[in-house]
Amino acid sequence: MNDVMVVKCGGSTLQELSDEFFSSMKLLKNMNVTPIIVHGGGPEIDSLLQKLDVKSEFVNGLRKTTAEVLEVAEMVLTGKVNKLLVTKLQQAGLLSLGISGCDGTLLKASAINETELGFVGEVNQVNAGLLFQLLSINVVPVIAPIGMDDNGTHFNINADTAAAAIAESISAKKMIFVTDVAGILKDNQLQKVVSVSEVEEMIKDGTIYGGMIPKVKGAIKCLQGNIEEVYIINGKSGNLMTNGELVGTKIVKSKELINN
């Protein structure tokens, strides 16, 4: 089987992903790297909640998910957003299948803190066998981060958390973290490779600031288990790959990995 790379698409960029992004996914497949797409959808969820006059709040960076909010989140994530990505990928020549974590018991989940967060879940188990079956027939899975427990209760799962759990379950070594920035800049220069400790230092000294902080922290959160490298790339850019290499910043766990 080809190498597998988990691609996490942030909700803020989904509507603006360039055609080059989708053609780059096809190029990766042609290079024997099969993508698994995991996506968010926060802005779309916010928009529909507002239209339906459903109140929503965030607790420690996670959306408190009441039964009413969960219904909207699931509608957006498994419906509109998921099928948008499937359509675009198939237009780029990649046979794709949109599923949620509830399908095929892909993501078994439980509540993180039901009192504070409601139906916000953490991943307890990933059905990696299902993913391998899809990959074996050349299907690109496009996954909405909704999980389910043994009682049939559904949970809203942070997309970063879902992507990291999926990557770990299939022993993926690399992830792509798709956002709306080119990568990490220092003195106006794109940093091609940095370690976690260097990123933390750049946050401390103010090189990384504002909205970039949650982006890099989300990427770092994915560096667990077998995952050795996370790329931050700009999904809105026209040039995602140069000479077969992704354009952006590669974050690795340590400097030893940079030197290898």
Q: Show binding-site residues for substrate.
A: 41-42, 63, 156
Q: Summarize the annotated binding site as residue ranges.
A: 41-42, 63, 156
What are the CA-CA distances from residue 97 to residues 4, 103, 116, 134, 141 (Å)? 16, 11, 34, 9, 5
Q: Using DSSP, state whether 121 is helix, strand or coil.
A: strand
CA pair distance 119, 45, nearest whole angstrom: 15
For residue 160, which of 217, 104, 227 has the smallest C-alpha distance? 217
Element (H, E) at 30: helix 19-30
Contact between 158 and 9 (Cβ < 8 Å): no
Contact between 109 and 125 (Cβ < 8 Å): no
CA pair distance 205, 203, nearest whole angstrom: 6
